[in-house]
Every structure is written in C-alpha cells, then in structure tokens.
A and B are shown apart, each in its own frame.
Chain A
C-alpha cells in the first residue's frame, strides 16, 4: 500500500514502485498507462487537487490477475465517457478528455465502489492469461 498527496506528478513515484513489481509481466505497459490515469482522476476529480487530501493505492497480485485499487477522499466522479476521436480533436475541438478512455482501454475489468467511511475507490484488474500463454510458448 502506498499513499500520495493530491498533487499532479506524485503519481510517478507510485508508477515506479508498481513498475518494479510487474517488471516481468507483459501487462506492465497496460498497468502503468491505466494506473497513471486512475491516479490523475483521483487527484483532479476525486480530491479536486486539494493537495493535503490523501490518495491510497493498494496493489495485489494473485495467480490469475493483478488488482490495483485507488482510493480518494471524494464522493465519486462521473465515470461515463465517450470514445474520443483524434480527428475531431485535431480539427479544433478540445484536445483533452483522454483519461477515462485510456484507463478503460488498457484495463480488463474496472470496478467502482465505496469502502468504509464512504471512501470512493476504483479497482483496476488485469488478467494474466496472456502472460501465462506467452511464458508457456517461450519455455
């Protein structure tokens, strides 16, 4: 478990720790991209960038998957999104709005919920089937 303040950029230290833990996995890139966006959502939309509000990150690895939970101090945020279109964004619409899309694209399963004291969390799950298959193929 790690804790960070609600300051943009602090997620990098968490990513470095997670990178050490999943360095052997072919899901590493997926995990790093999506956890980064989940942390940014927690900072910007969960805790509204109030820097002293804490964000907690839990990492679990079991036989079948990696599971990462990110808790913020907010009451939840809008998790609906439409797939952004780069052509629209190149042609003048706001170039932002990629966070939820990237988080969903690189994660196999996402759960949102509330822990004790109504603390909001997002749980990102990454299944290992592909990784095991790749290992079997190379052995």
Chain B
C-alpha cells in the first residue's frame, strides 16, 4: 500500500507494508508519467515491513523510469536490514538516502531544476 503526497514540485511516495511481486501495479501507478512529471520523488520506506528480491526489482524499474524522465530520487526511513539489502544490490548508488524528509527538503532547496 502506498500514499502519495505533493511536496513543492515533487512527490513523496510513502510505502507501507510489504514490497513484493504483488506491489508491482500499485508502485507503477503511483506516478502518472503522461501528465506533469515531478522534479523529484522521495521514497519513504519507514513503514515498510518486508522487501524481497521481487520488490527490489520493482524498485529498480522505478529508478529506471525516474532516470528516463530526469527525476531526482531521494529516500529515507530505511532500517539497518534494508540498508544492507540496498547496498548489496547497489540501489544506494541511485537513490540518495537521507535520515529524514526534512533533510531531503533542505537538500532540494539547494537544487536548481532546469528540466
């Protein structure tokens, strides 16, 4: 399950529960890529209870789509388990992780979006 929040010219995708094969449709319909594309997406993993390899592949496809649309990707709320998992896969090379949303927004204020 996910909730979407508009923040400035971007969005936050707050993910709750499990990220598995069953999350595919929900995750991909979170953003309407045919309408106005956000400047940035923040993935909030704080309420995630479980991610497996199929969930990892969904996140990778989300990253791919964000890169295709020149959308900056941030993340926060990862546990030590998730941090290990994301580092092993390489997701931390593509999603810029911060301790919390406030830190991300401070970082975003310094970005000059020129899409």
Binding site for B on A (CB under 8 A): 8-9, 11-12, 15, 28-30, 32-33, 36-37, 40, 84-87, 89-92, 94-99, 101-102, 105-106
Majority secondary structure of chain A interface residues (helix, strand, loop or mixed): helix
Nearest 10 interchain pairs by C-beta: A86-B90, A98-B53, A95-B57, A95-B60, A29-B81, A99-B53, A96-B57, A95-B61, A36-B52, A98-B56
Majority secondary structure of chain B interface residues (helix, strand, loop or mixed): helix
Residue of B nearest to A41 (CB): B53
Residue from the set A37, A84, A91, A101 with the largest chain B CB neighbour count within 10 Å = A84
- Residue total for B at the interface (Cβ-Cβ under 8 A): 26
The number of residue pairs between A and B whose CB atoms lie closer than 8 Å in the complex comes to: 70
**B85 interface contact, C-beta 8 A:** yes
CB <8 Å contact, B54 and A96:
yes
Partner of B50, one of A12, A29, A106: A12
CB <8 Å contact, A106 and B81:
no
Nearest CB in chain A: distance from B115 CB, A: 20
**Stretch in B15-23, B33-41, B102-110 touching the partner:** B15-23
